[in-house]
Amino acid sequence: MKVYFAGSIRGGREDVDLYMQIITHLRKYGTVLTEHVGDKSLEDKGEKGLSDKQIHDRDMEWLLSANLMVAEVTRPSLGVGYEIGRALEHKKRILCLYRPSVTPRLSAMIAGAPNITVKPYETIDDAVKIIDEYLK
Ligand code: 6IA
């Protein structure tokens, strides 16, 4: 299985450690195409000098090849919202995870979208259980 993990980059990196923990769990199910989203030093590395267009086109190619999208949507990110919309358009399975203690009111365009599974959680243990249940 190929998993596309989406999490905020320019939207704010406060949750990067959590992203990596989720990615580590997702690896048990297959290849995570976007491990860099959980990489703390991504901003310093500057994604190996790729232009915004190169990043967009490469990520879209990965997204189209994925069987599943898992998005951590606690931190509002334009890029993550865009990726979710594109994944919906291509009828991908989409699981969105968010922490109500940080974001009590998730965007209606995510919370109210058809064909997206949206699950609140608080700890990494909760997230692991939700992912296992979803993929059972
Ligand atoms: O709007 P955002 O930057 O928060 O969007 C984050 C989402 O877009 C993630 O789920 C990624 O899949 C994708 N994305 C955005 N920027 C990048 C990137 N480098 N590399 C890979 N994927 C990206 C950004 C430049 C970096 C040096 C800060």
* pLDDT of the chain, 136 residues: tens digit per residue: 999 999 999 999 999 999 999 999 999 999 999 999 999 998 766 666 889 999 999 999 999 999 999 999 999 999 999 999 999 999 999 999 999 999 999 999 999 999 999 999 999 999 999 999 999 9
- The pLDDT value given to residue 49: 81
Q: Is 50 in the pocket of ligand 1 (CB under 6 A)?
A: no
Q: Which atom of ligand 1 is nearest to the CA of 10?
A: 3
DSSP 50-97: --HHHHHHHHHHHHHH-SEEEEE-SS--HHHHHHHHHHHHTT-EEEEE
- Separation between Cα atoms, residue 20 and residue 136, nearest integer Å: 22
Cα of 94 vs centre of ligand 1, distance in Å, is: 18
Q: Is 127 in the pocket of ligand 1 (CB under 6 A)?
A: no
- The pLDDT value given to residue 86: 98
Structure tokens belonging to residue 51: 């232009």
- The pLDDT value given to residue 48: 66
- The pLDDT value given to residue 43: 77
| SS3 of residue 130 by DSSP | helix
- The pLDDT value given to residue 97: 98
- Which residue is closest in CA terms to ligand 1's atom 8? 79
Structure tokens belonging to residue 42: 């991504």
- The pLDDT value given to residue 134: 98
- Separation between Cα atoms, residue 52 and residue 58, nearest integer Å: 10
